[in-house]
Structures are given as structure tokens and as C-alpha cells.
Amino acid sequence: MNNDAQQHLNQITRKGRIYYLDISNRDLAGNADLSEFTTLQSFNVANNHFENLDFLNSLPNKDKLQSLNLFGNQIQEIDFAKLFTDFPNLKRINISKNPASAKNLNNLTSEQFSKIIEGIKTKQIQLNCWKGTVLMDLLVHAKELVGRGNTNQQTQAHMSYLQEIVSQPQKTEIRKSAPNNSQNNTRSPNTSIYLLVGGLILFSLAVLWIGYWLGKRKKVAANSMAE
């Protein structure tokens, strides 16, 4: 059962003195009024059930916010153009593990698009391929820019980089499957032990048989001399 985000925020005192607000891991959902958090610089809302970013609209002094952790929510859409316009000093964003898509990418300035790519490279902006389509949406946007004649070196580099990271899960899967194939072609440790023990048993039996045979020959030779 989800908890009401506003009820939780109402319990917080001295909101105007808070620079770092952590409301993570509380099963929170719904809208939230952040109008009293006048000095907020870092906001951690990870592992809740927020479906959109509307709660950020009520935050005053938006130029102060530098870090936003949205990991593990249910965010459906990300408008990077609006996000970077409303929060010009936002440096760190984590939207991993959200079923999000990127919208209004055509509203991005070239500087904002480069900021996203550079943020992904430096891990200041954290995304993932396996849940949501943000990375693929960015790649499609880069291809559309090239298709419209924007063939400068920077755009080409952005497209190549996005193509590389979008394909990484498939490469990882191939790397994971390779050891399994090699394991099928090698003997397991248990098999090696069984072979070693079996060899020792055969060797012991051979030694006993040789000893028995030599002893029998000596006995036959002794009987012959006695006769």
C-alpha cells in the first residue's frame, strides 16, 4: 500500500533550512508541495512510487537544485528540455529503474543535448536500457538530427556513443554465454577427482597382481630346486 507523500512532508520541520532532503524507501506516491523548501540543493526520492515529476513544479528557487535521485520509481516520461530549463544548475540525475520515455526532445538546445550525453559519459546522469526507453529515444533523436542535415562532428559523435551504449546489454549477454560454452567443453572438478581415484585403484591392483605373480614364481622356483 502506498503512503501519501504530502502527509510525510507535513511532518518535516524547518523546511527552509534543509539543503538535502531524503524521502527514499518510503513507498510514497501522489503529489507533494515543496514550496517551503527554499534552500533545497539535493533531493533523494529513490525507491518510491512517483509516476511523474509534477511535484518539482512547486519547488521555489529552482536554480539551487543540483542533484535529483529518482531511482526505482514509476516515472513515465522525462522532459529533459523542461528539466534543464527549470533547473539550470541541475548536475546529477538518476532515473534508472523507471519505465520512462523521453519526450519533447526536439525542444532540446544543442547545449542541453550535449549536457545529457556528457552526463551519461561521466555517470552524472544515470539511465538504463533494460527498463524504459530513454536511451533509445535519445539515439533516435540523434539519428533524426543527422537525417535533417545536422552532420557536424559533435552530433555524429553523440549518435555513435548512444549506439554503443544501447547495444551494450546485448554484448554483455554474449559475454555471459561464452563461459557456459567453454564449461561444456571442459571436465568438471568432480569428473577429474573420479578419474584420479579410479587411476589410483587400478594402479594399486596392478601392484598387488605383480607382487602376487612374483611371489608365485619364486615359490615355483623353490619347489623345482627342492626336487
Query: How many residues are there in the chain?
Result: 227
Q: How far apart are CA 178 and CA 172, in angstroms?
A: 10
**If you average pLDDT over every residue of the chain, what do you get?**
84
- Mean pLDDT in residue range 56-70: 98
- pLDDT given at position 191: 52
As a whole number of Å, the end-to-end CA separation of the chain is: 103
pLDDT exceeds cutoff 70 at 129: no
- pLDDT given at position 128: 81
- pLDDT given at position 151: 77
* SS3 state of residue 67: strand
Q: Which of 83, 95, 89, 88 is nearest to 134 (CA)?
A: 95
| Torsions phi, psi for 201 (to 5 deg) | -65, -45
Choice among 14-18, 86-90, 196-200 with the minimum mean pLDDT = 196-200
Radius of gyration of the chain (CA): 34
State pTM to two decimals: 0.73
Handedness of CA 114, 120, 126, 129 (dihedral sign): positive
Among the four given CATH numbers 3.80.10, 1.10.3470, 3.40.50, 1.10.540, the one describing domain 3-182: 3.80.10
- pLDDT given at position 172: 41
Q: How far apart are CA 177 and CA 181, in angstroms?
A: 7
- Mean pLDDT in residue range 176-197: 47
Q: How far apart are CA 30 and CA 142, in angstroms?
A: 34
DSSP tag of 69:
E
Percent of the chain topping pLDDT 70? 74
C-alpha angle 23/55/110, rounded to 5°? 110
pLDDT exceeds cutoff 80 at 72: yes
What is the residue extent of each domain of the chain?
3-182, 193-226
